[in-house]
Chains A and B, each alone.
Chain A
Amino acid sequence: MSQSSMNGGWETVIGLEVHVQLATESKIFSASSTRTGDEPNRNASLIDLGMPGTLPVVNREAIRHAIRFGLAVGAEIGRRSVFERKNYFYPDLPKGYQTTQLAEPIVGPGVVDIELAPKGNEGGQGEKKSVRIHHAHLEEDAGKSLHEDFHGMTGIDLNRAGTPLIEIVSEPDMSNSEEAVAFARKLHSIVTSLGICDGDMSQGNMRFDVNISVRRPGQPLGIRTETKNLNSFRFMEKAIALEVARQIDVLEDGGEIVQETRLYNADTHTARSMRTKEDANDYRYFPCPDLLPVLVSEEEIAALKDALPELPDVRKARFINDYQLSGYDADLLSGSVATARYFETATAASGDAKLTANWVMGELTARLNAEDLGIEHSPVSAAQLGQLIQRLQDGTLSSKIAKQVFEACWNGEGDPDRIIEAKGLKQMNDSGELEKIVDQVIANNPAQVEDYRGSDDAKRKKKIGFFVGQIMKATQGKANPQQVNQLLQQKLQ
């Protein structure tokens, strides 16, 4: 048991239910578009609207995506799976039931391996753990209820209704928020690598329900609560910490945990109970009479298995091997397909994997985060970053100027080579020209020179900074700092 999962003698037990929107063109049971961002109800067909007399027809690609996921986590694929009706009333579910799977899901038990961030120094090995998948089933998404802008009424937009989902249900194998987030990230990485989900968390492409309970070590599982609909890794981490602390407080005060659904509010970092009447959760499942059992052939499974794209673990191993990256760097760069693709394209252009890795994880990531952009929307393309790093490598640019060029490139001023040319940013490697400037700075500052010469070695090291600064100013930062230092030390002897 790791330290972080123990909390004043309490052990935390976490299981996840993850809703993944499948990246199909059309919906799971109707041929309307799954596109987002359209006007309300433009993509809601008679089937999605739950009109009487309509019949669902299953989208083959949704089935195939679910199978791809199952294969990626080593799960048994349900050769025969059955859709059922889960009955409940809510305005964004016009049929009065959600078509889902229960007793015979498409994906059976599987396993996802996670690795935690290394403790202490980067580059170390993180703790490894396996999280078991209980099963994953296919179902349809609901529409959206809009509570604002309708003067006391609720607006219903059914464009999302019928978007295919897989719900992935884990075993309660995680014992702290770090593990839960690592598992969630790994799932994100798997489904985006497979190309079965766009993975845009802000659009709700992946949504997490977290089941949490606490217990004394060795005791049976405690009563759990479910915190629903978390759509960011950061919120998930915070919501778990909040709920664990709440449960421990209740128990230590002699109270009891009530099994309930809770809703986390990221703005206020609070959660509240959504407890409704007990019987509201009586879903009265039964096999959907409108849909026949779905059969999957051995040939189809074999074909999908053969065509599986590179999965995150394989890619990570390849990054360590091919690019000599540390496990930690390889993990960060291989986790998301978009980041991996960017890194590989940039490295091909720069010819230096380690330096490219540093730029992607450092400058680029910081800038993307600051503007809340995904790497696929980076204003600096992978080829441009590669070119910039090449110029850094061949001595055209100092690292300081490189950042300036990066900035200009970010602002759309063109390719690095063009920016370097247009702004005259080439590093001054000509020692003759630099020497003249050094001489001039020394001649212009006799008092500082005298002061420097009268100082001991320790103080000289600090005082040389004044001259370096003056020279950098005179050369607009283009001087090679090593050359400047060498020249100054010679001339100030």
Chain B
Amino acid sequence: MAIDTRVVARAAHLARLQVDDNESAELCGRLNDILAMVDQLQQADVDGVAPLAHPLEVHQPLREDRVREPDVRDKVLPNAPASEDGCFLVPRVID
């Protein structure tokens, strides 16, 4: 699959990124380079190799179910552009 400016526009929209025409042309080139490398990877013979979710042969350590996080609200809330009554404020969203 070749990446054109339409695909870049769609990916940018999904990621909520603003991309202008110049950037789009440059990104097309770079993304196509990456895909070319992926194409090369796909030449590899993986018959009989199970799909891998993680490159390390280790598994997830688990945590005991205990509450031990400090309340950081009063430190993080002032970093937000707007807050009120302990809530972060964002432009109105209703779907």
Contacts and interface: CB of A to CB of B under 8 A. Distances in A.
Interface of A: 24-26, 30-33, 39-47, 49, 57-63, 80, 82, 87, 89-91, 104, 145-147, 149-150, 152-158, 274, 276, 279, 282, 284, 287, 289, 291-295
B21 interface: no
Interface of B: 10, 13-14, 16, 53-54, 56, 58-73, 76-77, 82, 84-95
B45 to A, nearest CB: 22
Contacts of A145: 93
A82 B53 contact: yes
Given A60-B64, A293-B60, A154 B91 contact: yes
A295 B60 contact: yes
Q: Is the interface of B mostly helix, strand, loop or mixed?
A: loop
B70 to A, nearest CB: 8
A292 B13 contact: no
A41 B88 contact: yes
Contacts of B63: 31, 57-60
Contacts of A147: 92-94
A80 B65 CA distance: 20
A300 to B, nearest CB: 10
Give the 3 A-B CB pairs with smallest separation, nearest first: A155-B87, A61-B65, A40-B86
A276 B67 CA distance: 38
B86 A157 contact: yes
A291 B60 contact: yes
B54 A31 contact: no
B60 A153 contact: no
Contact of B68 (A31, A91, A287, A289): A31
9 contacts: A58-B62, A87-B14, A154-B93, A154-B94, A155-B89, A156-B87, A157-B87, A287-B53, A295-B60
B66 A292 contact: no
B87 A26 contact: no
A350 B18 CA distance: 72
